[in-house]
Amino acid sequence: MSTHDSRQFDLHPADQHRLTTLCGPFDENLKHIERRLQVTIGRRGHHFRIQGETEHVAAAVEVVRHLYRETEASDEISPDTVHLYIRETGYERLPEDVPYDGAVTVIKTPKLQAKPRGANQQKYVHNIRSHDINFGIGPAGTGKTWLAVACAVEALKDEQVKRILLVRPAVEAGEKLGFLPGDLAQKVDPYLRPLYDALYEMLGFDQVTRLIEKSVIEIAPLAFMRGRTLNNSFIILDESQNTTREQMKMFLTRIGFGSTAVITGDTTQVDLPRGQNSGLIHAAGVLGKVTGIGFTRFGAKDVVRHPLVQRIVEAYDSFDDGSGTSQ
């Protein structure tokens, strides 16, 4: 049985610059320790108080002391450094799944307030806010991408993240874009247009343009993610049914500290070349029971476009179930 504990201690020497470095921007380093070790950290100057389960409190105290020693020789504590010290304690915890309690929520963006419609959309937004990695799977018109972009804009506005990355696999009949005119950015632009449209609606054209110029918002094809580690970012992978298994694994392993990833897609609309398996379908099977990853599955009843769209989705589902031709 776990026991609750509270520890108070001072860090010496009481150097304000070093304390600021220890805590990180907006106390992000302390928040990281709190999340990963399931403790509460209070601070007044160089005086600290940590509360939680006894073993976790002791681990957190050691992490804070180690990091403070690091500030003697460095003016910055990276997320990687915090992560390594936490991992060495052996007491880190991934966040547990937080069940949706039915509360109605509103997403606030500079240009509009987005209210999710229906229980499934509400659950989807709840999952995005309470999980680092989330999957939204279902037919067109269910609000998967639009709500994810709204959550990303809200997180940026509230300074929960430093940047937004909107990603799509550039797939049509294969990934043969060479015949299109223009440079690579112009070739893939048509595939990213829905993401631009959602941003313009929530931030306005001028603001989106400025943020893209400053690289606060990045809209890119999936291939551009290889080799990167994405910290303090809100990342949306749209149309993910058109990723291969290898591309999906590559994308999921880009996720860094302080980041949220939302992966959206429709498993009935796979445009990959024949013989290639969808990375989304594979990931749903592999990761479906992994704690800390959110899944929301939408159906025809969740469609919020023209009423005929719902009937079209239902008709295709019925036809495929009856004929055995679905993928």
What would you report as the CA-atom Rg of the chain, rounded to the nearest whole angstrom?
Answer: 22
User: What number is the average pLDDT over the span 175-197?
Assistant: 61
Largest CA distance in the chain: 74
Q: Which residue, 41, 42, 33, is CA-closest to 63?
A: 33
Over residues 202-228, the pLDDT tens digits come to 999 999 999 999 999 998 888 888 888
Over residues 271-294, the pLDDT tens digits come to 888 888 999 999 999 998 888 899
Nearest CA-CA partner of 114 in 149, 162, 138, 164: 149
What is the reported pLDDT for 279? 94
Domain locations in the chain as residue ranges: 4-89, 107-323
What value does the mean pLDDT of the chain take? 85
Q: Given a cut of 80, is residue 171 above it in pLDDT?
A: no
Q: What is the rounded average pLDDT of the residues 106-126?
A: 89
Token pair recorded at residue 87: 């991992």
Amino acid 152 reads A
Q: Residue 91 pLDDT more than 90? A: no
CB 33 within 8 A of CB 60: yes
Section 45-68 average pLDDT: 93
pTM for this model (two decimals): 0.74
What's the fold here for domain 107-323? Rossmann fold (3.40.50)
31-40, 67-76, 80-89, range with the lowest pLDDT: 80-89
Confidence of residue 256 (pLDDT cuts 50, 70, 90): confident
Q: For residue 326, which phi and psi values (nearest 5 degrees)?
A: -70, 155
Q: Flag whether pLDDT at 327 surpasses 50.
A: no
CATH architecture, domain 4-89: 2-Layer Sandwich (3.30)
Average pLDDT over residues 154-158: 93
pLDDT at 50 over 80: yes
Read off the tokens for 296. Answer: 């929301």
